Chains A and B, each alone.
Chain A
Amino acid sequence: MATEFEVYEHDVLVIGAGGAGLRAAIEAAGSCSVGVVCKSLLGKAHTVMAEGGMAASMGNVDDRDSWKVHFADTMRGGQYLNQWRMAELHAKEAPDRVRELEKWGALFDRTKDGRILQRNFGGHRYPRLAHVGDRTGLELIRTLQDHGIHQGIKFYMENTVVSLVKDGDRVVGAFGYDRERGRFKLWRAGAVVLATGGIGRAYKVTSNSWEYTGDGQALAYEAGAELMDMEFIQFHPTGMMWPPSVQGILVTEGVRGEGGILVNNQGKRFMFDDIPENYKSSTADKEEEGWRYVTGDKNARRPPELLTRDHVARCIRREVKAGRGSPHGGVFLDISWIKEKVPNAPEHIRKKLPSMYHQFKELAGIDITTEPMEVGPTTHYMMGGVRVDPDSQMTNVPGLFAAGEVAAGLHGANRLGGNSLSDLIVFGKRAGEHAAKWAKENGRGTVDQAALAAAEAASLKPFEFGGAAENPYRVQHDLQELMQDNVGIVRVEEEMKFAQDQLQLLKDRAAKVGISSHREYNPGWHTAIDLRNLLLVSEAVTMCAIERKESRGGHFRDDFPAKDEAYASFNLIVKKGEDGQMVMHRRPIPPMPDELKQVIEENK
């Protein structure tokens, strides 16, 4: 098939218009021509949903905070599997990146003396999250969008990339289609930045949108890049449980940061029952101290509800399993109780948590200022992803960069809340800067037309099979159930082996899904294309989860419930082998410089 494609040229092509993609584009646009491709309209990427805030040790609320404490918190939260260099850069650069947003028009909530207000979040020693009520992601994406549209960046909205284009080893562009008309396009570029986000749609209960089908991880993998830490998925402890149609939608950690407590069906505040050893010294052991903490008493320790997400999620599961759960299989999260402490509590809650108030009012018919919410774990965030160089964000494939949720390294085995939004702006900037530099030094490559034709043909396959063939939504649904039930929050070898076998069957089914009608804005077709990516990342997750025979951070094995030192010194890597099969190896964690070791020691 000799097809004509629309061809566009840029120095840097950014795939993704969330926080990471936009920040990268803005940086690169300072020195070269930039295009941004995204699956949705501008301003709708996942980042818009972030609620609680972004972490940066500005010390506006507690001046004992510093990059060192933030670094140590991030490493402890990640169970020391983090790329320490990324954690270091992130902690050092986040404050400047946040302040810069203010220069571009962002309006954060203020302290009494007029500076950026910071709130408490799980695993952060001091109040550290710059925020705007509970809609911080909206503020971030809108600020970057409204600044970005004046930087000469070309936006390609509602376009989906289906493969990266290579010239020898090097990535020289991307190939995809526009959703509106279903026509194929080629974007030629000196460098490509992946900023495509996560993989949550591989699971049934998730806080993630349809976009999160692991496209970036799969694109990178197919282009020869290494994926790292794929076993580490964050299950956020508090997703909505009821009614069924809203199951999984996020309830921000900010609720607990403002004093919300977790109780079981006996009315017991169960989080006090199990406080991990390495957090004992920094966690309150009395309710009264916990309350003082959330109301700003600097001498108080944080309540156990603000322990790391992996731990809180497992405690909730334990309560449910022991029959102490709420009617719909979760536990209760109660913020209304603060009326005992705060005059005007309902108004205070509505002011601090406006979108949570509306979410429950409108979707569940519940008034959170007077009654508790029902919550339970939901698939939320991918710690793993494309392995990158910590300083430049370049992958092992020359010319291919990655930043944001699609990249791995900063968060190790478990991400702290608020560390993603700051990740986006710190490493988005770095990716943009280095991609621009790389593009200018290396120019454009040549494009292999045959590869494009093959990619197009593969994408159009579902039309050949037609509407009577396997339904793509059905396959997606079965995949989500499979992963939810077998490679979810609590894992055992047997179930994962089962999942591995089933994934092969699903792959066969996915290869034969069919679709009727034409290419114009056809979600069934889009789903069929996304399936390949979902299956690929599911396979990688399962493979790594089987290999890591211990429990650490987001990865919990019922058959190996303890942390095992033997697994503390490496990250798992998967990549495409010579024969096209997925292969895995252990990559030793580079030795940490003594200064950083000392920082961790000092902040134990």
Chain B
Amino acid sequence: MPQATFRISRGDSATHGEFKDYAVEISEGMVVLDAVHLVQMVHAPDLAARWNCKAGKCGSCSAEINGMPRLMCMTRLSDLDLSVPVKIEPMKTFPRIKDLVTDVSWNFRVKEKIKKFKPRPADNADGTWNMAQRDVDRVQEFRKCIECFLCQDVCHVLRDHQKHDEFIGPRFIMWNAALEMHPLDTDDRLKELKDDNGLGYCNITKCCTKVCPEHIAITDNAIIPMKERVVDRYYDPLGWLWSKATGT
């Protein structure tokens, strides 16, 4: 059977990490995660990597493959150049715990701080609401997010400028958008988006959209509309008052 070499970054929080080469036998249809499992089985049982579903549904297996942020379980070997070693590294934006596993707990803390969903009173006596499919469509797009944090990983504001304290990243701007555009939600998160969450840091490079394995149009459908709402409210207050008063 043909072989391929995987150059995997190994190390923990204390060490810098170094690349180690592992050769494994490959077969038709394999994905990078299969190769990692083979390495664990044959060469390095202690190689740390996260995974759960192996079907692109849980967002656990994020890594950088030949420098690209991707899900290991959805990256087919047949799409890679196997004549040279395949480089596998952990996400760079988050501190490494060990090998391919990073500490993504910051993301969970960020989410907790965002104001939670607050629905309007129920429409019907049995506690239910009526919503049209076309009104839920756009929020459903955002709710496809599997929280793989690849968009967070690639965004230069976090990756290069380490603005973790001031900027919540594309995933959570989009989470704000999902709440703001939720047909039932009554709360308001624009002030926080502007003042605390660093919406202004995003300069619409669209790198986040490019890496999203769920193909969510993060920038066009979530970030830009949030930016527009902030502009309308805070930089065009008359327009905002007008629309509030007239309900348009």
- Residue numbers of A with Cβ under 8 A of B are 40-46, 48-49, 99, 102-105, 107, 109-110, 113-116, 132-133, 135, 137-139, 142, 146-147, 149-150, 157, 180, 209-211, 242-246, 249-250, 354-355, 358-359, 362-364, 467, 471-474, 477, 515-518, 520-525, 527
Contacts and interface: CB of A to CB of B under 8 A. Distances in A.
Interface in B5-52: 12, 27-31, 34, 40-41, 45-52
A114 B58 contact: no
A525 B101 CA distance: 16
B53 A43 contact: no
B170 interface: no
Given A138-B143, A147-B116, 13 more contacts: A45-B52, A46-B52, A48-B146, A105-B119, A109-B136, A243-B29, A245-B27, A246-B31, A246-B55, A249-B55, A363-B29, A472-B45, A520-B97
Q: Is chain B's binding surface mostly helix, strand, loop or mixed?
A: loop
A99 B128 CA distance: 7
B84 interface: no
Contacts of B129: 102, 114
Nearest to A355: B57
B27 to A, nearest CB: 6
Nearest to A354: B144
Contacts of A139: 143
B222 to A, nearest CB: 15
A250 B101 CA distance: 26
Given A142-B143, A245-B30, A521 B97 contact: yes
Contacts of A116: 128
A471 B146 CA distance: 33
A103 B117 CA distance: 9
B45 A103 contact: no
Nearest to B46: A517
Interface string B111-122: 110001101001
Contacts of B105: 157
Contacts, number: 173
B54 A209 contact: yes
Contacts of A473: 40-41, 45
22 contacts: A43-B147, A44-B59, A48-B58, A49-B53, A102-B129, A103-B119, A103-B127, A105-B185, A114-B131, A115-B130, A116-B128, A142-B143, A211-B52, A244-B28, A471-B45, A473-B41, A516-B46, A517-B45, A517-B46, A521-B101, A522-B46, A522-B48
A177 to B, nearest CB: 15
A243 B45 contact: no
Nearest to B140: A107
B133 interface: yes
Nearest to B122: A103
B64 to A, nearest CB: 18
A521 B111 contact: no
Interface string B87-127: 00000000001110100110010011000110100100011
A134 to B, nearest CB: 10
Interface in B49-94: 49-60, 74, 76
Given A114-B130, A138-B146, A517-B46, A209 B116 contact: no
Interface in B141-189: 143-144, 146-147, 179, 182, 184-185
